[in-house]
Chain A
Amino acid sequence: EAGVTQSPTHLIKTRGQQATLRCSPISGHTSVYWYQQALGLGLQFLLWYDEGEERNRGNFPPRFSGRQFPNYSSELNVNALELEDSALYLCASNSRRFHGYTFGSGTRLTVV
């Protein structure tokens, strides 16, 4: 069974640009979660999608947005990039019957 896949693995952008990160959940998992892991701050909850709908979002500005497609894959968009957005962005999926998440390996976003 394929795990959670994220692309790209690394992304370098200039301040003010836009970044698009992609995530494919485990087959059969309808929920996708996005987390930001910045140095020293731990995993910060960004967004939760389930069945194509945004169910919850964390304390991040509106320039962090995303969507979930009919095949349950998901996209995270970050507009007007700032230096502080440099972090590892992790995607996770789970099924309704299980409490645990399966994480992807993440996208390392560097803003210069």
Chain B
Amino acid sequence: TQLLEQSPQFLSIQEGENLTVYCNSSSVFSSLQWYRQEPGEGPVLLVTVVTGGEVKKLKRLTFQFGDARKDSSLHITAAQPGDTGLYLCAGGSNYKLTFGKGTLLTVNP
């Protein structure tokens, strides 16, 4: 069974602060994706990383895939209240995604 562990589970910060959330597994995945989910909505894809060591930037968000393709991190610079939500990582293998339980981020104005 492939498992993804995310940390921290909850994170509450002030606007303007930086933060990093982590996604770790003992399994190797062909791809690693990050999603953001707001209350009452489905998750929305932020990024897909497929190459070990890959780094992708999306405005203030930086995503990194570990060299061994077992872990990933999401770094947000100068967080804003609009970044509030549940951040989910998901490992892809054979067209199936396994999700972590998520990091619930609250950015206070």
A binds B: yes
Interface of A is mostly: strand
Decide: B45 and A102 in contact? CB cutoff 8 A. yes
Contacts of A41 in B (CB 8 A): 101
Decide: B45 and A105 in contact? CB cutoff 8 A. no
Shortest CB-to-CB span from A107 to chain B, Å, is 10
Interface of B is mostly: strand
Interface string of B82-109 (1 = CB under 8 A from A): 0000001010100111111110000000
Of the four ranges (under 10, 10 to 19, 20 to 34, 35 or more), the interface on chain B belongs to 20 to 34
Q: How many A-B residue pairs have CB under 8 A?
A: 56
Decide: A101 and B41 in contact? CB cutoff 8 A. no
Contacts of B100 in A (CB 8 A): 42
Decide: B42 and A100 in contact? CB cutoff 8 A. no
Instruction: Name the residue on A nearest B97 (C-beta).
Output: A101
List chain A positions with a Cβ less than 8 A from chain B.
Answer: 4, 31, 33, 35, 40-43, 45, 48, 50, 55-56, 90, 92, 94, 96, 99-106, 108
List chain B positions with a Cβ less than 8 A from chain A.
Answer: 30-31, 33, 35, 40-45, 48, 50, 88, 90, 92, 95-102
